[in-house]
Amino acid sequence: MTSPTVLVTGGSGFIAGHVILQLLDAGYRVRATVRSLAKEPAVREVLTDAGMTRGDALEFVAADLLDDAGWDAAVAGVDTVMHVASPVMPGHVDDEQQLIAPARDGALRVLRAARDAGVRRVVLTSAFHAVSWGHLHDDHVFTDDDWTVIDGPGVDAYGKSKTLAERAAWDFVAAEGRGMELTTLLPVAVMGPVMGDAVSGSNHIIQNMLAGRMPGYPALYIPVVDVRDVAAAHVAAMTTPEAAGERFLIASDPVMSLREIGATVRAAVGDAAAKVPTRAIPNVVVRLGALFSPQFRALAPDLGYRKRFTTEKARRMLGYTARPAVEAIASAAESMVRRGLIG
């Protein structure tokens, strides 16, 4: 009997790479999209280096989130789609549509093709950015039912892109899905072992520390999750019948300050952390900088705010478990040092 085929979008990405590895390990056939098939040899090399098994069960197709071409072929004969691809640019960007358009329009393009091909379920990678931004700073415990307030304080273009894309996906499935199932995952800052020479997403925080590009620590708290646990949650969301129509917040404990993350990096890699800062940046300096700098302006609203959340639903319905945040941070730092990616 032929194993089911799972489509993973954005096959060259950080989360997608770990999803592909776990799907192959679990016995599935995997089809991965890349913007150009010229990328296939490099992506295969990275996955092989990361321990890929059953590479003969992995195929690549060319498809771009901003173009209809290729998507019909990508979803043909597929049972499940893991829509992981989305641009990642936290902080200030000059043109918000650089993020919003490919995230929202790309999600709809994938969903439309999947529906027309009779795909059973789409698992969409959203983000905590679609949950907890733009709210008042209080003792609220964020859950899978919360949504980011688009016009609230501190909402950057990335937060808008993830929120608008996920809302558009739910609206599409409700109005035009014809019974296709949707599940969304909402990971916090994703860290963990890098693949190849690419450093992606929240791992840039650790790379900037190691490279000496962070002069000190603003009073910010970062919820962290290991990429390997995020990948496992994707597989569970695909295989759990009750996950249809649900959102799942994916995170680890504890929520750490930037300063605590820096201390974890120093403990993990020793002398290689010589450039990792030790001093704090006072709140008043950040707030003064916010008058002139878009980067500081994006940080100021969250100074001193430790967001609270629960992953109870993911644990109950998906059997989700998470490594401690310190393990994700340490493994990210160690892999960067091992690969010489701290310059």
Helical residues (DSSP H) of the chain, grouped into ranges: 14-25, 40-49, 71-75, 97-116, 157-176, 203-210, 227-239, 258-269, 283-289, 294-299, 312-318, 325-338
Structural domains in the chain (count)? 1
Q: Is the distance from CB of 36 to CB of 252 less than 8 angstroms?
A: no
Based on the number of CB atoms within 10 Å of its own CB, is 139 exposed (0-12), middle (13-18) or buried (19 or more)? exposed
Residue 64 lies in a domain: yes
240 in a structural domain = yes
* pLDDT class of 2 with cuts at 50, 70, 90: low
Single pTM value for the model: 0.95
Which residues constitute the domain of residue 144?
Answer: 5-338
Q: Is residue 272 part of a domain?
A: yes
Distances (CA, A) of 98 to 36, 172, 202: 20, 22, 19
DSSP string, 169-181: HHHHHHHH-TT-E
Least confident of 151-155, 165-169, 192-196, 317-321: 151-155
Tell me what pLDDT residue 155 has: 84
pLDDT, tens digit, for every residue of 90-129?
Answer: 555 667 887 888 899 999 999 999 999 999 999 999 999 9
Q: CA neighbours within 13 Å on the CB side: how many for 146?
A: 23
Average pLDDT over residues 6-11: 97
Given this model, what pLDDT does residue 241 score?
A: 97
How far is residue 195's CA from residue 173's CA, in Å, rounded to a whole number?
33
294 against 1, higher pLDDT: 294
Residue 215 located in a structural domain = yes
Cβ distance 265 to 206 under 8 Å? Answer: yes
Closest CA to 46 of 11, 8, 85: 11
For residue 231, the 8-state DSSP code is H
State the pLDDT confidence band at 16, using cuts at 50, 70 and 90.
very high
DSSP letters for 277-330: --PBPPHHHHHHHTTT-HHHHHHGGGTT---EE--HHHHHHH------HHHHHH
CATH number of the domain bearing residue 216: 3.40.50.720
Report residue 182's pLDDT band, with 50, 70 and 90 as the boundaries. Answer: very high
Taking only the tens place, the pLDDT of each residue in 293-339 is 887 887 888 899 999 999 999 999 999 999 999 999 999 999 999 99
Q: What is the pLDDT of residue 137?
A: 82
Inter-residue contact 227 to 14 (CB < 8 Å): yes
Mean pLDDT of the residues in the chain: 94
pLDDT at 88 over 80: no
pLDDT > 70: percent of the chain: 97
pLDDT at residue 92 in the model: 56
Q: In this structure, is residue 343 part of a structural domain? A: no
> What's the DSSP call for residue 123?
E
Strands (E), 35-94: 58-62, 80-83
Provide mean pLDDT across the span 22-28.
97
